[in-house]
Amino acid sequence: MTERKPPEVSFESWIDKQIREAQERGDFEDLPGAGKPLPRGDEGEAWWIKGYLRREGLSGEALLPPSLRLRKEVQRLPETVSELPTERAVRDAVAELNRRIAEHLRAPSGPPVVIGPVDAEEVVRGWRDARPVPTAPTTPAAAPDTEPAPARAPWWRRVLGRR
């Protein structure tokens, strides 16, 4: 850790001294990219952040405001639930998304984006339709991987998020 700057020394001379001492110790030798120009992408003003995201293997979606992230999650929901094995898991995924949507609606942040709760019955119906037709079970004890749908709550309970 560097020592504190003495009060009687200006910042410029203090920084110059720190750099000179680091050069004398050899701290700047054998650095990656030494002697090469700084990489400059053709990606516009945010070339450096795009390069960072690419190097770290991150998605640019992490930089979006919460309202847009939730909107994208709602749009991708059919693909997300298509990989889930049971109807209960699909309903749980929709319930979790609806919980986060309700939380966002209580205290919105970011640009105003129209977003509302997702209808679990519609998502489950789409999940069932996308699944392959089950073949006849080979054993009589084999049970289907879906559970019976629970009774649908009245509209006012669905809107208010109560059961």
Summarised one tens digit per residue, pLDDT across range 75-107 is 999 999 999 999 999 999 999 999 999 999 999
Angle at 19 between CA 16 and CA 23, to 5 degrees: 135
Residue 25 CA: distances (Å) to CA of 6, 19, 20, 28, 110: 22, 10, 9, 8, 48
C-alpha 13/C-alpha 44 separation (Å) is: 36
Average pLDDT score, the chain: 82
What the block records as the tokens of 33 is 């990219």
- Could you report the per-residue pLDDT of 40-49, keeping only the tens digit for each? 666 677 778 8
- Burial classification of residue 123, based on how many CB atoms lie within 10 Å of its CB (0-12 exposed, 13-18 middle, 19 or more buried): buried
Q: Where are the domains of the chain?
A: 64-130
